[in-house]
Amino acid sequence: MTVAVKSPVDANAKAVVDELMRRARAALAVFAQADQARTDEAVTALAWSLYKLEHAKELAALAVADTKLGNVPDKIVKKQRKTFGTLRDLLRVKSVGVIEEDKKRGIVKYAKPVGVVCAITPSTNPGATPVNKAMMAIKGRNAIVIAASPAGLKTTMRTVDYMRAELKKIGLPEDLVQILPPPASKDMTQALMQAADLVVATGSQDNVRRAYSSGTPAIGVGTGNVPVIVDETADFDDAAAKICASKIFDNSTSCSSENSVIIVDAVYEPMLAALERVGGYRATATEKQQIQRALWPDGKLSRTLIARDADVLARGCGLPAVAESKKFFMVEETGIGRDFPFSGEKLSLVLTVYRAKDFDDAAARVNTILAHQGRGHSVGLHSKDMGRARRLAEQTDVVRVLINQAHTFGNGGGFDNGLNFTLSMGCGTWGGNSITDNLNYMNFLNITHLVTTIPEDKPSEDALFGAYWAKYGR
């Protein structure tokens, strides 16, 4: 058996974390006997702390000022939509006491807390993600301590203040939700990961890897780089409208934002025309080089251009004035891999366009893109052919395959699909993760199985081995 060795941490950081953990466990002792109604009341309180319009507006503006990522109107929508959808999901399920009884198998399942959760949150969603994770953690009657991205720390601290105030209003311990105090440091985050009972990491792959190596049970998420196929049966205007709405939402800060569109040859020009009609700008070969130089000035994505408004990006890339009024920028590409940066995640209003001979070629192109970056995350298809949809699901190593949908509004749960609302998408072992689902309340529960006897269920040897014996002998 391999035993994880915990890395040494700074003594001061450990002292700060020890005090947070003491307070969290004291709050848990008070919350431990909460019934389902009281638990759901707590979850609703956290939801209201962000859904409340004046709070959503304030935190959206603070997030943009704090991180320089995204835009205020879309962040308001994101905060309210994700919180509302998550609350819908959580209020429909049980998480206290008996949550499932299978009489035929003689098994009764009891939900129990996991304890204190360390939640690592990203700069792209410094308000929405902390509340999303806190709602799920509290649904399981846990406490949560948030390790915020330094870039979004002010926003996350204010968000936590609102959550704590709402808990206090309903008579529950504020310390069910806490945050690492500034200045944020890797040492303090490391100490928290080692002290907590569960780590849930959303953000950079460096943070995810550190979570998995902390010695504490951990859940991480993978890298996005969503490719979408458009075939000849698609409704081009509908597909273009959905791709545009998804691509431009919050200036492409979402890991679910479309990064590439693969169009089959037979409808390549009509589909590009549809994308232009909804606000896409088709870059020339020369402009493509300008965009590449500006977006990757030193081989890494430019912090001054990612997640910026279209006019800022256009000027930063030296595009003509007409481009400044467009919504997103299309770059035609043929290559995939390290030498072709447009084939990866761009976190900007740049959409890479590939031309494929037919659907099979497009599906192969998708797998090549995902092998380069984004394996496990998701893929999309705009088509009327459900046979192709099933083939794509069978042949692609991703957790989510969305059909005729806008990824940013569907991947993390939608009101018109059955995925759980979340801001953290698991990508399976393909993406280096332990879950193949949208992060949800079940990830924050321990389950006790009460097992009673049932009538013996023991088939004969012939029932199990008969077909094998008949084919290969004994």
Q: How is residue 236 written in tokens?
A: 């081009």
Task: Report pTM.
Answer: 0.94
Residue 118, beta-bridge partner list: 145, 199
Which pLDDT does position 8 carry in this prediction?
A: 66
Q: Over its length of 474 residues, how does the chain's per-residue pLDDT go in tens digits?
A: 444 445 566 888 999 999 999 999 999 999 999 999 999 999 999 999 999 999 999 999 999 999 999 999 999 999 999 999 999 999 999 999 999 999 999 999 999 999 999 999 999 999 999 999 999 999 999 999 999 999 999 999 999 999 999 999 999 999 999 999 998 788 999 999 999 999 999 988 888 999 999 999 999 999 999 999 999 999 999 999 999 999 999 999 999 999 999 999 999 999 999 999 999 999 999 999 999 999 999 999 999 999 999 999 999 999 999 999 999 999 999 999 999 999 999 999 999 999 999 999 999 999 999 999 999 999 999 999 999 999 999 999 999 999 999 999 999 999 999 999 999 999 999 999 999 999 999 999 999 999 999 999 999 999 999 999 999 999
Residues labelled as active-site residues: 255
What's the rounded Cα separation, in Å, for the pair 18 and 24? 10
Residue 302 DSSP one-character state:
-
Place of tokens 């098994």: 107
Upstream peptide bond of 183 is cis (omega within 30 degrees of 0): yes
Which pLDDT does position 10 carry in this prediction?
A: 81
**Cα dihedral sign for 79, 80, 82, 88?**
positive
Which pLDDT does position 5 carry in this prediction?
A: 47
Q: How is residue 441 written in tokens?
A: 């309340």
Classify residue 38 by burial, with Cβ atoms within 10 Å: 0-12, 13-18, 19+. middle
All structural domains of the chain, each given as residue ranges with its CATH number in brackets, are: 11-221+439-450 (3.40.605.10), 226-411 (3.40.309.10)
Which pLDDT does position 170 carry in this prediction?
A: 98
- Picking from 369, 203, 387, the residue whose alpha carbon sits closest to that of residue 211 is 203
CB atoms within 10 A of CB 302: 18
* DSSP character string of 384-412: S-HHHHHHHHHHS-EEEEEESS-HHHHTT
